[in-house]
Amino acid sequence: MIPYPNINPEIVRIGPFAVRWYGMMYLIGFASSYFLVRYQIKKLRVKSSELGVKKQQTRQTLNSKLLTLDVDALYSYLILGLLFGARLGYVIFYNLSYYVQHPLEIFAIWHGGMSFHGGLIGSVIAGILFCKKLKIDVWQIADIVIVTAPIGLGLGRLGNFINGELYGRVADVPWAMIFPTGGPLPRHPSQLYEFFLEGVVLFSVLWILKNKGFRTGILSSLFIVFYGAFRFFVEFFREPDPQLGFILGLFTMGQALSALMVIFGLGILYLRKRA
C-alpha cells in the first residue's frame, strides 16, 4: 500500500476566497488547448503560404476562413458550452431525482457535480453553432481542437486525485491508497489511471496521428472511440456513484455512456471514411 499524499486542495486562501488545485488544473488545460490550437492554425497558414495559397484538389483542402479563425471567440463558445453541458449532464445522467426535488441546487455548481459526457455534448453543440455562424467546416475545427482535449481531461483527473474524490474500488494491489473520505480500506487510485489513459496516452496518440493526412472528422471520431474505451475500462476500478450504484448488476452509468460513445464514434468513423 502507498500512503495517500494528502495535498492541500487549496493553493492559497484570502479570506473567503480560495484558489484550488482543481480549478487551476482546468485553467491550465484550457490555456494549453488554446495555445496548441493557435499553434496548429499558424502551421496551416505557413503551409498555405508555401503552396502559394492555391486551391488544392486533395482531401486536405484548407478552408480559407480557418486560416483567419478567431480562436478567442471559438473558445468563448466552447467553454460556455462545456460548463453548461457538464452541469446539465450531471443533473440528468447522475442525480435527476434529487434535482427535480431541489431545482435551485442545479445552479449551485460550487457543491460539485460535473459530467464529462454532458460537457462533451455541450461543447459540440456550441462548436457547431460557432461554425455555422461563421460558415466554417465543423470537422476541420473539431479535428484541430479535439487533439488538445486530453490535456484538460488528464489534468482534471489530477485535480480529482488531489481532492481525494472519485476514488477507486477497494483493492489489495501494492499501489492501493486509503483516501480521506473513502473509509478505512485501501482503494485503487483510479483518478491516476484515468490521468494516464485519458490524458497522457490519448493526447500522445492523437497528436501523432494529426499529421497523417486523414480525412476530416477521422481524428474526432478516434477521440470519441478511444476515450470511450479507456473510460469504460477504468470504470471497472472506480467506485460507482453512490446514488446510482451499478446498472444491470455489473456496469456503471459511466460505462453505459462510454459504451454509447464508442458506438457513436465508430459510426462517425465509418461515415467519414466514406465521405
83 within some domain: no
Please count the structural domains in the chain: 1
| Averaged pLDDT for residues 67-96 | 89
257 within some domain: yes
Greater confidence (250 vs 158) lies with: 158
97 within some domain: no
pLDDT classification of 51: cutoffs 50, 70, 90: low
82 within some domain: no
The boundaries of the domain holding residue 193 are 148-275
pLDDT at 129: 95
Q: What is the pLDDT of residues 141-166, one digit of tens each?
A: 999 999 999 999 999 999 999 999 99
Chain position carrying cell 459540440:
124
Which three cell numbers, joined as nine digits, stand for 60?
486536405
26 within some domain: no
Q: Which of 158, 167, 149 is nearest to 24 (CA)?
A: 158
- pLDDT reading at 57 higher than 60: no
pLDDT at 50: 63
pLDDT at 60: 46
66 within some domain: no
CB-based contacts of 9: which residues, under 8 Å, 6+ apart?
Answer: 20, 21, 22, 162, 163, 164
Mean pLDDT (the chain) is 89
Length of the chain as a residue count: 275
| Averaged pLDDT for residues 164-188 | 95
Greater confidence (161 vs 54) lies with: 161
pLDDT classification of 193: cutoffs 50, 70, 90: very high
Q: Which of 148, 268, 151, 263 is nearest to 216 (CA)?
A: 268
Q: How far apart are CA 89 and CA 121, in angstroms?
A: 8
Q: How far apart are CA 176 and CA 168, in angstroms?
A: 9
